[in-house]
Structure 1
Amino acid sequence: MRLRNKPWALEFINEHPDVIISNPEEYKGNWKAVFGNENPVHIEVGTGKGQFVLGMAKQNPHINYIGIELFDSVIVCALERIIEGEKPSNLRLLKVNGDKLQQYFAKGDVARVYLNFSDPWPKTRHAKRRLTHEGFLKLYESVLIDNGEIHFKTDNRGLFEYSLMSMNAYGMSLNYVSLDLHANMPEDNIMTEYEQKFSAKGQPIYRLESQFKTK
């Protein structure tokens, strides 16, 4: 997907440090200082335009949410969406690279990781870039609580099958698997922008919930 340049984005981002944390490395191991409570923290890696993470924050005020997105022109859309309404106090954004989580989170800082409609990187030589590759699973495990969870949604069957095999090979428990999420839509399902787009075209949405085992 080609990103449309928004030359005003960085200035707009800098005007809202209450939403987009500019110094996340300072809160490693102490995210309760940001949220003012000790509620569990859930993160979405690749939060895009923010529809999912905002919806989750509104639906679950007892959980703290952090949306992670690298690109200015994308995260600014999430920021606009958040500030146009009543900003949930349990939601923050980080403009950082998702492969650097250990710089911002200590072991046990995070209770759950959400991966929604990640780039499938279909070529075999690019497998290490897939967000469910063993290298990324090891990264998530390093910041999650013991028995922490990954919740994953995609429209790409190949990526879904790869993810099932990758997580199984890593020794994770698969607690939930759906090959057509919208055929029996959970009442608490929050859709992403891509999810709405693909489901409207009749494409099945694949979803899984996996959990790391205590070693």
Structure 2
Amino acid sequence: MRQRNKPWAKQKLDDHPQYVISSPDSQKGSWSDYFGNDHPVHIEIGTGKGRFITGMAAQNPAINYIGIELAESVIVSALDRIIEQELPNVKLMNANAEDLRDFFEKGEVDRVYLNFSDPWPKKRHAKRRLTYKTFLSIYEDILPEHGEIHFKTDNQGLFEYSLTSFSEYGMLLNYVSLDLHNSDYEGNIMTEYEEKFSNKGSRIYRCEVQYR
């Protein structure tokens, strides 16, 4: 979906350094100092407008959350949510997932969330999918041993591809749901896209995978 350009977005992000991490590479190795505690750090890659990350932060005050989003015109909406809710345990990072190794040491991130990532349906674009093996290697380098990825999508093709990608990488499939909203899973926080697609009758797929 094409996002409306917001030329003022960058300035607004710059104006809120208490919520937006301006130089994430300078925090590498010292995220506990940045947050002022030793709580686990969970990141969401492609945080969009921030409904999921703020919902998780409100529900789990003893976990630090970082929402990572490349598009300034999108992440500024997540900033509005954080400002409104005054959540101390959630920050935003306007950055590319390809650069995560520049921001985090091994084990500094305790969990990765991938929610409704771009499916990049054309075969020639497979390397851009956030569940492609190159990205799985990046996540492995910032997660602890046996670290987890939690993945949700409405796209059946991407879900099937991702399960194969996880398995071929040697990961464990700890949980798989082919119809999340009609399952017994508890504590689900919906994203904006999730609500939109589920209201149209789309099935939501979810899995939890773990590095060996």
TM range (shorter): over 0.9
Matched, 1:20 2:20: yes
* Matched residue SS, 2:145: strand
How many Å separate the matches in 2 of 1:187 and 1:208? 14
How far does residue 3 in structure 1 lie from its aligned partner after superposition?
Answer: 1.7
Q: Residue 173 of structure 2 aligns with which residue?
A: 174
Give the letter for the 2:197 counterpart. Answer: F
Task: Note if contact 2:177-2:183 (Cα within 8 Å) is conserved in structure 1.
Answer: no
Task: Note if contact 2:153-2:205 (Cα within 8 Å) is conserved in structure 1.
Answer: yes
Matched, 1:8 2:5: no
Q: Which runs of 5+ in 2 are unaligned?
A: none
How many Å separate the matches in 2 of 1:147 and 1:80? 34
Q: Which runs of 5+ in 1 are unaligned?
A: none
Q: Residue 210 of structure 1 aligns with which residue?
A: 209
- Root mean square deviation of aligned Cα: 0.8
* Matched residue SS, 2:114: strand
Q: How many residues align?
A: 212
Give the letter for the 2:94 counterpart. Answer: K
**Aligned positions of 1:107-146 closer than 5 A:** 107-146=106-145
TM-score (ref. length: structure 1): 0.97
* Matched residue SS, 2:110: strand
Percent identity of paired positions between Structure 1 and Structure 2: 63
Q: Residue 104 of structure 2 aligns with which residue?
A: 105
How many Å separate the matches in 2 of 1:186 and 1:197? 19
Q: Residue 165 of structure 1 aligns with which residue?
A: 164
Q: Residue 156 of structure 1 aligns with which residue?
A: 155
**Aligned positions of 1:23-62 closer than 5 A:** 23-62=23-62
Q: Residue 80 of structure 1 aligns with which residue?
A: 80
How far does residue 102 in structure 1 lie from its aligned partner after superposition?
Answer: 0.5
* Matched residue SS, 1:84: helix
Query: Where has structure 1 moved over 3 Å in runs of 4 or more?
Result: none
TM-score (ref. length: structure 2): 0.98
Q: Residue 195 of structure 1 aligns with which residue?
A: 194
